[in-house]
Every structure is written in C-alpha cells, then in structure tokens.
Structure 1
Amino acid sequence: MERAALLERLEAEMERLSACPDIDQRIIRHYELMEQHYLGRPLFYKSILKYDRFMVVLSLLAHYYCEPFPSLSRVKEFCERRGYLSKNSLESYFAFFLISGYMDVSDHPDDRRLRIYTPSARAMTETVKIISAYYFPALGIIDESSLERRVDEPTVRHSFRNFQKVLDANFTLEMLVPESRWLMNRDGGHMVMLALFCDALQTQSLTGTGRKVSTYAQLSSRLSVSSTHLIRMVKEGEKAGYFKVCKNAVEITDSFMALARRMMIANFAITLVNIGNGEAEH
C-alpha cells in the first residue's frame, strides 16, 4: 500500500470511529480485556506497555513476520533510528526476552555473525491476547463474548506484515496523535491512561457531575506503579490543562478525555487497517 493511500485509510477509519456512538464503551471493553492480562502479570505488562518499549516489541514481531531470517541487529538498527531505546538498552531488553523465555536465538545460516530470533510459544500467547484486546472492541464486539474471543494465527501473521508498512511509513500513534507521547512513554503508560479515562466515565455516570477518579494510592495499588510516579505525571498534565488536583484525588478535564479518546481511536484504526488488509490474504 502506498504511503498516501495508507494515511488516507487510517484517517478514514479514525473519522468513522470518532462518529461511533459507542466509542467510549469500546474503549472501556478494551481496558477490561487488557486489565485481565495486566493484573495477572503486572510487572511484565507495566514494563512493556511503556510506549518506547512497546514499539520495540511490535518492531520485533513485524520484522519476524516479514523476513525469512529476522535478525536482532536489523531490528536494533531500526529502533535506534527511531529513537525508541539506546543501543545498550536494546541489548538489555533483548537479553530480558531471551532469559525470560519469550524469544529463541540462533545463528544466521549464511552469516554466523548475525543472530536470528523466533518468538517463543509463550510470547505468541501474550501477543494473541493483546491483539484480541484491541481488535474485537475496535469492531464493536463489546458483549460478554469478547472476553473469550481470540484472533487466530493467520490474523496475527497478516496483522504484523501490514503493521510493518505502518512502521515504514511512520504512521504510529505518536505521529497520528503527537501529544500522546508524554503520557504513554511511562511505566504502564497505556493502562494508566485507560484507568483514568474509565474511572472518570464511571464517576460521571454515577454522580452526573465532575470527573474525580481514584486516589493516588488506589491507582498505585491497582496498576503496580508508584504513587510518586503518578503524582509526577499528574503535575505535568496539570500544567497542560489535563488534570485538576483535589487533595489526594485527581479530577479529569475535558481536554484529557478528548486526548485519551483520540489515542484509542488511533490505536483502533491502526489495528483495523492492519487486520483488514490481511484478511484478503488468508
């Protein structure tokens, strides 16, 4: 797909999703699905859901499905160029995946200086969970059946083959919604954003006014991130007009709600374009 055509399709999906009357319910269901996985392994997900680290994970999977002999050095060079992590941090991150059983590494058949990698079955199980948590809510499947639905292996394969085009064109979340990076590039960033957004919706539906959310201590316990981490984030967001601080609780502004909604609409659009492109190739 040409770059201009890809952008046109992403923008069309974002516009269509923006007009969906149940978009907030789709975001809530995505959060509920992600929370199932996050709560089971909070330290793991807190780490990989920091934006730059998550982009490294997605880059590994995209290169894996697009190359006959995916090499770690090629992914490292790509991620360094994009500024996701430093060379040393990437080496440490790859070592973590290897030691933790998420990746197998072997010598390249034609060049023993290169290391080729394969995601393990354990890694692919987590991958299927995450893609499913985006895909089915993006489609509008938000009933109880979405709790058990999973995408199949061909869908995963074609999704990442098409995501490589998104990466090459640089139409990732931070490009589509530039102001998202300050919030997402933190430990557990994606889940912190969702927790604040969903808490605010729940509070407003119960009280009819205001959007005060859980206290720092409650959010910290729920998301396995420190209160200090959350306080620092809220102070930064307060300067930008996203939050109002009310003693130990946070009040969410319309600006934050609009930002979180735009971020999730962009994420859903990328997911639908990736899988929509791939469906024809099954």
Structure 2
Amino acid sequence: MPFISRRKLELEKEIRERAREFREKSNLNDAIKCHYDLLNKLYLTNPLYFKTLFKANRFIVGSAILGIYYTRSSSTFKDVRRFCIANDLFSSNALDSFLLFLRVSHRLEVYRDEQDKRKLNYQPTEKALNETRRMINTMLHPYALLSENCRADLYHRQDDFIPHFFRNYGEITLNRLFIHDMVPGSGEFLSHDGGHMIMFNLFQESIKQGSLEVKYNLLKASFACCVSRSLIRRCLKAAADRELLTIIEDKNTVSLKPEFMTMVQDYFCIYLATVEHGLKGMG
C-alpha cells in the first residue's frame, strides 16, 4: 500500500469541503455551462492537442511537468519520469511518446544542465504557457459565478499568474491527489481522449432538452468534442457498464441515471476547488 502523507490527507479534506460549498450553489449548472462553452471554443483552436491533454493521466502529467518546473530549482525529465512511474500513470515508452509530442509541438524546450551535462532539463515554451492560461480561464469565469470573492479581471492582469498558480496547484498533483480517484464514475470518461468534453457535452444536452432521456446525435457530439463516434460509443459503453446510463440505440437515445448528473456536478466542483487552491494568494 503506497505511503499517504499527512499533507495529502489535509489537502483532500480542504478540497472536498470547498467542493461541498460549491455544490450547494443554486446556479451551479450555469457555472458548468459557462465552463463547457468556454472550453468548447478553446478546443476548436487546436482539437488534437486538447483532446490529447484532457485524458486523465496526460492531464496529471501535464500538471506535474509545470508543478515540478515551478517548485524546484532545476526541473529534469528524470523528475517527471520518477513521478509518473511511481504513480503508475504511464509506461516508460508511453511517457517518452507523450514528452516527445510536447517537444515536437514546441511546448517544451530541452537543454543540458550546466552543472551536470548528463541531466536533461526542460522548460515550458511561451506557446504552452499561453495555452495553459487560456485553459485555466475556462474555470475563472465559472468560479466568479459561484464565488463572491473572485474577480477574474484581477487574475488576468497578474504578471506572474502561471508561476504562482502552479506553485500552489503543483502541491495537489505532486501529493497524488487525482480527481478521477476522488469522483467515482468519472474515470469511465476521463480514461478516453476528450472524455472531459464528452462528459460535459452529455450533461449539457440533458439540461438543454430538460430530460434524462437524451436524444443524442453522435455525429454532432463527435464534432463538438473533436473525437470519433466510435470513441464516444466506447465511452458511453464504459459508463453504461458502471450503471451511470443506458444506451437505447434504436431510438438514438441515452437514458441518463440521476447518478450521472450528480457525478458530473461533483467532478466539476472538485475540479473548481483544485483551481481555487491554485489561485490562493493572488489578487
């Protein structure tokens, strides 16, 4: 059984308590819609990158890369590899492929350590930092809807926003506090490319149609989530096996269980609470 630090237990308690406060807000679904709409616009600017990143393990590794970079004096791929292998996030080959993807797409720069030429240091590029900031922005406006203390404009003007954010947010990631572990059922979506978007797309369709019996157009959903219809089918099948929904193929309908709606709301609130932790001390 892996060692669980006292700080991890403290963090999890803080995040869950804050998430419960968000959960009680009457306009929670408005905040979820706000996040989905903003993220949908961001997705369309680079579908391949964002659908790749919004898969649970890759999202964690991306957060760890920035967390390590902003909390340690020198950041190396060895640090990232140690974290990923210890937490069973990637095989060695899969991790190499993901890191190569980030390098080739000009999101990570690599250089030899001045003191030890055997070490391969890295730093995020301006392109990566701009995309990261825009991704966080998809949660700032929903946060403003649910919190009287949030002024999104102050965060937008913060010059050292990303370093400050990941010095805080990195604490969550590097203490192995993973959202898909905290919210049962979310992993059925997050284990697939674009699963974050698919989950919220289905949720929004239910809200829009005013029913748990959702007429679900797979072609339309595939365009919105920038993934194939077959991937969406696999995602829905995994959720059906978890008894979060029922697929009625002859009617092109997905019958959602109340547990699905609750799971999405819980996931959003936990995610928002982690973002809020990243914002501590700013503004």
Same fold (TM over 0.5): yes
- Decide whether aligned partners of structure 1 residues 150 and 177 sit closer, same or farther in structure 2, where only a CA change above 3 A counts: same
Partner of 1:195: 201
**2: CA distance between counterparts of 1:227 and 1:129?**
27
Q: Tell me the amino acid that sits aligned with residue 112 of structure 1.
A: K
Name the residue aligned to 1:237.
239
C-alpha distance in 1, partners of 2:212/2:73?
54
Deviation at 1:241, TM superposition (A): 2.0
Q: What is the number of equivalent residue pairs in this alignment?
A: 272
Equivalent position SS for 2:44: helix
> Structure 2 CA distance, aligned partners of 1:150 and 1:193?
28
Deviation at 1:132, TM superposition (A): 1.2
Q: Which residue does 1:122 correspond to in 2?
A: 127
Counterpart for residue 164 of structure 1: 170
**Amino acid across the alignment from 2:17:** A
Q: In the alignment, what sits opposite 1:40?
A: 45
Structure 2 counterpart of 1:174, which letter?
H
Q: How does 1:63-212 map to 2 (within 5 A)?
A: 63-140=68-145, 150=156, 152-204=158-210, 209-212=211-214
Residue 177 of structure 1 aligns with an amino acid whose one-letter code is V
CA distance 1:153–1:65, change in 2 (3 Å): farther
Which amino acid in 1 is paired with 2:255?
E
TM-score, length of structure 1 as denominator length? 0.89
The Cα shift of 1:270 comes to: 0.7
Asked if 1 retains the 8 angstrom alpha-carbon contact of 2:246 and 2:256, the reply is yes
Q: Percent identity?
A: 23
User: Which residue matches 1:217?
Assistant: 219
Per the TM alignment, residue 4 of structure 1 is displaced from its structure 2 partner at its CA by 4.1
| Structure 2: gaps spanning 5 or more residues | 1-5
- Give every structure 1 segment of 4 or more consecutive aligned residues whose post-TM-superposition deviation is greater than 4 Å: none
Name the amino acid aligned to 1:179: G
3-state DSSP class of the match of 2:115?
coil
Matching of residue 265 in structure 1 with residue 279 in structure 2: no
DSSP-derived class of the 1:40 partner = coil
Deviations 1:135-171 (Å, cap 9, x if unpaired)?
A: 33123179xx979x84734232122111222123322
What TM-score comes out, normalization by structure 2 length? 0.89
Q: What are the Cα deviations for residues 180-210 of structure 1, in whole angstroms up to 9, with x where unaligned?
A: 2121110101111111111111110xxxx44
> Structure 1: which amino acid aligns with 2:68?
H
Structure 1: where are the runs of 5+ without partners?
A: none
RMSD: 2.2
